[in-house]
Amino acid sequence: MLITGVSGHLASWICKLALEEGKYQVYGSVRDATDDKRQKQLKEGFGKLYDDLTLVSLDLMDKESIEKAVEGMDYVISPASPLFPKDAKTEDDFVRPAVEGYINILEAAHKFNVKKIIYTGSVGSVLDYTKKGEYDCDETQFAPEDGIVYSYTKSKIMQEKETWKAYKKLADKGKCPEVVFILPAMMAGPIILKDTDSVVNMLKMLLHNKYGAMPPYYGGLCDVRESARMHIVALDKGRTGERYIISGDETVKFSDLGKILAKKYKKYGYKCTEKDVGCFGLWLFGLFDPFTKYMYKTRNRKINLVCTKAEKELGMKIPPYEETLTDMAESLIERGYVEDLR
């Protein structure tokens, strides 16, 4: 089994759980498997499990490297997305690499007779903010790419849509790998690797934020460990051609999560996010920053995620938010991302 991008927050958990299970011979990809710094990071994170991991080099924008990594695999789990170019200026600069990277994986898997691919999508691909008022949302819905989106969400919407199109074309021609998409909500929980991806910055803001406020954005929350487990379970139980939302039942704001953390950590001097940024401030900063503009347009919009499909078919069990957030906070402190004030 190949897991792409194993130095990422989610992928590192998928890799760890797969190694612990011992059912598969696990190959993990990074951009450069000969990178000593990356090897050290993974050794420290996985401990003795690292000895059972085979590292391979893979660049999602390099078809040759993908084919080398995919050849001989029965299964591929693909949480990784290509790195966005530093000089990206247009939405296409973000969308094109995301789309091409996933299709490159599909084509290589088809060429080498891979049995099944589990792709990581995003719950953002089902959230349609052009609809008015509060509503329930499940896997049957697709967010319009020309709706209220920003570059990242649009890249995930188009990544999934175009991958499904390519999959259906191959399936119509005959033998094709089975394909499943896992759509996680915002992920929290403990961190395995130091210097992991940018999700850490958002998690840090919840625990220790000098402004004490974040945008009034509603969203689902899932434990990264359960999201990882769902990717592995989907290898056996996920139905081909299906999507699965992974999230807790309750839709919450950042400040709701901060208040949960404040109950335990505020007494030590941590400035947890307990307040919402004001509407004017969001509007003002949104004039200069596309993401803040998106936060302004989606402020206080509550969309309830319906996750019964993953519960019934994959056995999803999201732990209480307090447990996930506490484990996250302890991990951030232990890893040195946040000062230990206790």
Residue with tokens 């099944």: 116
Considering only CA atoms, which of 279, 303, 288 is closest in space to residue 215?
A: 279
CA neighbor of 176 nearest in space, from 121, 117, 233 = 117
The predicted pLDDT at position 159 comes to 93
Alpha carbon 224 to its chain's center:
8
What are 322's two structure tokens? 């307090």
| Separation CA 90–CA 96 (nearest Å) | 10
Q: Residue 152: what pLDDT?
A: 83
Region 264-288 average pLDDT: 92
Confidence of residue 169 (pLDDT cuts 50, 70, 90): very high
Instruction: Name which residue leads in pLDDT, 252 or 84.
Output: 252
For residue 133, give Cα distances in angstroms to 40, 143, 293, 299.
49, 15, 19, 12
Which pLDDT score, from 0 to 100, does residue 289 have?
Answer: 87
| Neighbour count for residue 226 (Cβ, 10 Å) | 23
Q: Mean of the pLDDT values across residues 291-308?
A: 92
Return the closest-CA partner of residue 85 out of 8, 151, 184: 151
**Contact status, residue 25 vs residue 56, Cβ threshold 8 Å:** no
Q: Which are the contacts of 7, defined by CB distance < 8 A and separation ≥ 6? A: 30, 38, 41, 42, 193, 196, 197
pLDDT band at residue 82, thresholds of 50, 70 and 90?
low
Average pLDDT, the chain: 91
Q: In terms of residues, how long is the chain?
A: 342
The predicted pLDDT at position 157 comes to 92
Helix (H) or strand (E) holding 327: helix 321-334
CA distance 235 to 180: 9
Asked if residue 38 lies in contact with residue 253, where contact means CB atoms within 8 angstroms, the answer is no
pLDDT bucket at 228, cuts 50 / 70 / 90: very high
Has residue 84 got a pLDDT over 90? no
Nearest CA among 225, 276, 11 for reference residue 119:
11
Confidence band, pLDDT 50/70/90 cuts, at residue 87: low
- DSSP code for 133: S
CA distance 134 to 304: 7
pLDDT at 2: 98
Single-letter residue type at 171: A
Per DSSP, the residues of 83-116 read PPPTT--SHHHHHHHHHHHHHHHHHHHHHTT-SE
Residue 199 has pLDDT above 70, yes or no: no
Sign of the CA dihedral running 273, 277, 282, 284: negative
pLDDT of residue 209: 85
Mean pLDDT calculated for residue range 72-89: 77
Enter the DSSP assignment of 49. Answer: G
% of residues, the chain, pLDDT over 70? 96
Q: Is the pLDDT of residue 123 over 90?
A: yes
Band (pLDDT 50/70/90 cuts) for residue 175 is confident
Q: For the segment 124-159, what is each residue's pLDDT rounded down to a tens digit?
A: 999 999 998 899 999 999 999 888 888 888 889 999
